[in-house]
Chain A
Amino acid sequence: MRRSTWKKRKSIIMGMICLLLFVQEAPYVSADGKTDAYHYSFWGDAVPAPAAYEATTIITGKKLNTTPMKEPSDMHVTANQHVFVLDSGNGRIIEMDRNFKLVRTIDSFEQEGKEDHFKNPQGLYVTEKGHLLVADSDNHRVVHLDEQGKLVKIVSEPKSDLLKADFQFKPMRIVMDKGERIYVMAEGVFDGFMEFSADGTFSSFIGANRVQVDPVEYLWKRFATREQRSQMVMFTPTEFTNLDMDEEGFIYATSGDRGKDPVKKLNAQGTDILRREGYQTPQGDLLYTQEAGPSRLIDVDVGDSDMYSVLDSSKGRIFTYNGDGYLLHIYGGIGNRLGQFNTPVALERAGDRMLVLDKALGEITVFQTTEYGRTLHEAVRSYYNGDEDQSSVLFAQAAEMNANLEYAYAGIGKALLRQKEYAESAKYFKRSMEPKGYSKAFLLYRKELMREHFSWMMSGIFLAVAAIVTVIIVRRQKRRTTNAGIK
């Protein structure tokens, strides 16, 4: 009796233990603790990776033989690798050459015979011709200077029906396209970027973020009374945090909140045309703790061959993606070591160096590509330029240095596919978790196999069918005779 109750109890306990497995909180995996380079796999796990960049030097005001930088907020590198830093706290622009030697500082310009200064400027852009555009935030204007530092024009307080009467123009970030149109990211503007035509008149907004609605909050709002609702936070679209322009004139933009797509590539109509074909959409860190929250992307830099990097201010990390949206590498971090930052604000590429501007420390960290980084970039570049053989060789090298770089295997697979090595190609595509390529290679491999073995396969099937039919006939015959015997 006792034993049977124990048995029952045991089974119940077993059941409970099984159910406990469901209740268990999902273990929180975090990329934290891995201060060195890491990568995200197809499955979204953080996996180790070799560093693509390593920090080499730090540039400070002292090193440039000038006064220390005070809260610099933006930076720009021109094609000939001259570095322009916007030293907001001192209201000046510092220009350095490619070896980080001071060329000049611009702290004033001449306007109608009088000397004029910047007041807490936040955004800087240097055009191909070397013209400087400064978002002179506290003066509520955009200053356009030519390569000598002479004033070309000033864009101030735009007038338009699209703007509210009490609108205060406070430009924060700025770019200019080849047609001399100016795109401004202004504070408190939720309608997208402000577009100014070449003569400085406001024309329209482009590329507004859509409103993100939290379903739970929405439900609450539905139940709330009008008074309660007026107390609640409005659903507002997220603001952009930064923008950059690539060689073709597309605007890359980042938004701070982890909305649906924190990185965007806008065409002239303001439509998002960023390719998101990678394993995960470009968004910075995939894994994060509840307290720290997702990445807050505050700068984007477009390199060559459609590669672009985004800067995450909350963790101080830089994420580089290729044109298809595959993550290439991650580096940087918040900390005290060389190659880590305190408050990173701006990101610029100068050749194969990467510069990160730190606002609080007033310094620039210079990163240099490692062999791994160079190989990977070169592979992406050759693929972008259509040189698939070259790229597959480079991808193979990159994969050798980083076996976790699943993306590289697809490059090898593509080359093998063209060399008609279908089985091998399918294997590499599979390793790269690339269903489309895998399917293509596998289909060709299957066809090849079928063609090769068609004769004996078909005869085999024919023989099998014949055998089955014979067996059935014989059985039927037998049954008939036995039945006849019974009768």
Chain B
Amino acid sequence: MQASSKELYQYPLHLIFHPFDGYWELKYERNQRNSLLIAFMILVLLVITKILHAQYSGFLINLSNPKYLNSLLEMLYVIIPVLFWCVANWSLTTLMDGEGKFSEIFMSTCFALVPLFLIHFPWIWLSLVISAQETAFYYFSNALAVAWTVYLLFVGNMTVHQYTPAKTVLTMLLTLVAMAFMAFLCLLFFSLVQQIVSFVVTIYQELVLRG
């Protein structure tokens, strides 16, 4: 089934306002391929928002140095946390009899990020015409977006894994711990790899200089 263009934006909007219905549909009724497509699109939009925000938003709220703006890194700052969250959540919920598949977890997570995009994107331009006193609105809506996203994540998790609310909260907290653990392991692994590489390079240089 081809996704109609209208559905592409109507469904996420429906989901963020009616999360219980929306996530239920996501898990049991909707075409998985379409949903996956939408999920990727949301992620891409969020990446674009992040990059544009760092470059173009008004200087009253933009605290990043444009000289060191790296779009690739900005992209990773969005994608890596989402990926870590999904992997950690999946690893945990398989052990805690969650019913969600990885793709479902990924989709539900991405759909939960819609408010972030919806609220942050207009602010890139709004921030250009605000004064210092009005930045309060910016920070307020920012907080609102985050709260909304967390709420959606909560409902998404609950629906996808068919958990009780208490267990969902517990899982989410544990997921955060698992993410920290994964980050630690990754850092450890890559710093070891770097050391090995530098060791090999040193030996190579030694050989070249002596030979």
Write the residues of chain A forming the contact surface with B, with a CB cutoff of 8 angstroms. 16, 18-23, 43, 45, 430, 433, 435-436, 438-440, 442-443, 446
Contact = CB atoms under 8 A, between A and B. Distances in A.
A23 B60 contact: no
B33 to A, nearest CB: 20
Given A21-B76, A430-B59, A435-B59, A442 B186 contact: no
A427 B67 CA distance: 19
A333 B131 CA distance: 42
Interface residues on B, range: 10 to 19
B194 interface: yes
A425 to B, nearest CB: 13
B62 to A, nearest CB: 10
B67 A23 contact: no
Contact of B187 (A23, A43, A438, A439): A23
Contacts of A442: 131
Interface string B108-148: 00000000000000000000010111000000000000000
Contact of B186 (A19, A45, A430, A438): A19
Contacts of A45: 67
B190 A19 contact: yes
B76 A439 contact: no
A288 B176 CA distance: 35
20 contacts: A16-B193, A18-B76, A19-B186, A19-B190, A20-B194, A21-B72, A21-B76, A22-B76, A22-B80, A22-B190, A23-B191, A43-B65, A45-B67, A433-B59, A435-B59, A435-B60, A436-B132, A439-B131, A440-B131, A442-B131
B133 to A, nearest CB: 7
A446 B131 CA distance: 9
B73 interface: yes
Nearest to A430: B59
B67 A446 contact: no
Interface of B: 59-60, 65, 67, 72-73, 76, 80, 129, 131-133, 186-187, 190-191, 193-194
Question: Chain B CB within 10 Å — which of A23, A45, A440 has the most?
Answer: A23
Given A43-B65, A435-B60, 13 more contacts: A18-B76, A19-B80, A19-B190, A20-B193, A21-B76, A22-B80, A22-B186, A22-B190, A23-B191, A23-B194, A438-B59, A439-B60, A439-B133
A439 B191 contact: no
Interface of B is mostly: helix
A45 B67 CA distance: 11
A21 B73 contact: yes
Nearest to A443: B131
Contact of A43 (B67, B72, B73): B67
Nearest to A20: B190
Nearest to B59: A430
Nearest to B76: A18
Contact of A16 (B73, B80, B190): B190
A23 B190 CA distance: 7
A446 B129 contact: yes
Contacts of A22: 76, 80, 186-187, 190
Nearest to A436: B132
B190 A438 contact: no
Contacts of B193: 16, 20
A399 B79 CA distance: 42
B186 A435 contact: no
A435 B65 CA distance: 15
A22 B189 CA distance: 12
A438 B190 CA distance: 44
A448 to B, nearest CB: 13
B69 to A, nearest CB: 12
Contacts of B60: 435, 438-439
Contacts of A440: 131
A35 B194 CA distance: 34
Contacts of A433: 59
Contacts of A43: 65, 67
A292 to B, nearest CB: 24
A487 B20 CA distance: 35
Contacts of B73: 21
Contacts of B194: 20, 23
Contacts of B65: 43
B74 to A, nearest CB: 12
Nearest to B60: A435
Contacts of B72: 21
Nearest to A434: B59
A20 B190 CA distance: 6
Nearest to A429: B59
B180 to A, nearest CB: 14
Nearest to B64: A43
A16 B72 CA distance: 14
A404 to B, nearest CB: 13
B109 to A, nearest CB: 18
